[in-house]
């Protein structure tokens, strides 16, 4: 799991930049709308919506924006019809999954294909990459406010698969079906959860040299800059030493 958590650290830094530009708002609104469309507008009975609202609040999204997104999803307000698509590809020997929410499939496909071409990557056929990733639940806790041992003990008793800490963030990995149960147990014990979501975890990882790692991250940055892209997952594993070099 260390490779994924380092990758999460890169994503969080990117998301902080996105938040300043307002781009993260668009992604969160789409997720809220889809969650409400598929599971109803009551967060108590819709775990996906509950998580989306939590993430919206963490991004300091105004309550009015959240409410409008929910109503657009349930049909109480007119809104755009979104489609969820997963693209698969390769670059520098690394596999990627790109989760997209769009109101225009042709535009999304064209933009993603252009990014892959510009950054020496290739889009793959459906199913060419998906099998390499497992769907998991990921719960994040602020390590500066909570002791790691406390989180580990509570999460393990609640059925978590793994608990690790990197860069001040405690990552609790669960089976998909156990995500919200573990999250509730943590919160009932007074531990504040900063994020909870479904993620894709690679079954195996690939390491690249510094030059290729830098080029690969430029590809990921370009993908995440696309308005239709919600999440990008890969099976790259970046060492601590490499992370430090790339962050300079």
**Residue range 223-235: mean pLDDT, rounded:** 92
E-assigned strand segments in 41-120: 83-91, 94-102
Q: What is the spatial distance between Cα 101 and Cα 83, in angstroms, rounded to a whole number? A: 6
- The listed range with the strongest mean pLDDT (15-29, 50-64, 125-139) is 125-139
**Residue range 66-81: mean pLDDT, rounded:** 92
CATH number of 133-202: 3.30.70.980
Q: What is the spatial distance between Cα 196 and Cα 163, in angstroms, rounded to a whole number? A: 14
Domain borders along the chain are 2-74, 83-131+204-239, 133-202
The domain 83-131+204-239 is placed in CATH, from the list 3.30.413.10, 2.40.110.10, 3.30.70.980, 3.40.50.300, at: 3.30.70.980
Tokens of 83: 């489609």
Task: Give the model confidence (pLDDT) of 148-199 as tens digits.
Answer: 999 999 999 999 999 999 878 999 999 988 998 999 999 999 998 888 888 9
Supply the pLDDT for residue 140: 92
- Phi and psi, residue 208, nearest 5°: -120, 160
Q: Are the beta carbons of 235 and 3 closer than 8 angstroms?
A: yes
Task: Give the model confidence (pLDDT) of 75-134 as tens digits.
Answer: 999 988 899 999 999 999 999 999 999 999 999 999 999 999 999 999 999 999 999 999
Helices (H) and strands (E) in the chain, counts: 9, 8
Q: Are the beta carbons of 49 and 33 closer than 8 angstroms?
A: no
Supply the pLDDT for residue 4: 46
**pLDDT band per the 50, 70, 90 thresholds, residue 248:** low
Q: What is the spatial distance between Cα 209 and Cα 198, in angstroms, rounded to a whole number? A: 29
- Is the four-CA dihedral 195, 196, 199, 201 of positive or negative sign? positive
Question: What is the average pLDDT score of the chain?
Answer: 87
Q: What are the Cα distances from residue 229, in Å, to 105, 118, 238?
A: 12, 17, 23
Q: What is the spatial distance between Cα 115 and Cα 174, in angstroms, rounded to a whole number? A: 33
Is 248 in a helix, a strand, or coil?
A: coil
Query: Whole-structure pTM over 0.85, yes or no?
Result: no
End-to-end C-alpha distance for the chain, whole angstroms: 24
Fold of 2-74: Arc Repressor Mutant, subunit A (1.10.10)
83-131+204-239 and 133-202: same fold?
yes
């Amino acid at each position: 799991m260390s490779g994924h958590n380092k990758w999460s650290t890169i994503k969080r830094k990117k998301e902080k930049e996105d938040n300043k530009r307002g781009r993260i708002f668009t992604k969160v609104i789409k997720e809220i709308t889809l969650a409400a469309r598929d599971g109803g507008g009551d967060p108590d009975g819709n775990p996906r919506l509950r998580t989306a609202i939590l993430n919206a609040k963490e991004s300091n999204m105004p309550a009015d924006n959240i409410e409008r997104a929910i109503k657009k999803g349930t049909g109480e307000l007119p809104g755009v019809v979104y489609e969820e698509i997963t693209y698969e590809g390769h670059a520098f020997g690394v596999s990627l999954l790109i989760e997209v929410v769009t109101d225009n499939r042709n535009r999304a496909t064209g933009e993603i294909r252009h990014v892959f071409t510009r950054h020496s990557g290739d889009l793959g056929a459906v199913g060419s990459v998906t099998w390499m990733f497992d769907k998991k639940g990921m719960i994040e806790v602020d390590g500066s406010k909570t002791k790691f041992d406390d989180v580990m003990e509570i999460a393990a008793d609640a059925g978590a698969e793994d608990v690790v800490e990197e860069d001040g963030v405690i990552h609790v990995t669960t089976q998909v079906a156990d995500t919200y149960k573990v999250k509730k147990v943590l919160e009932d014990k007074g531990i504040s959860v900063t994020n909870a979501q479904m993620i894709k975890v690679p079954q195996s990882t690939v390491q690249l040299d510094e030059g290729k790692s830098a080029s690969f991250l430029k590809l990921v940055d370009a993908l995440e800059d696309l308005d239709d892209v919600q999440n990008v997952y890969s099976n790259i594993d970046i060492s601590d030493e490499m992370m430090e070099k790339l962050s300079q």
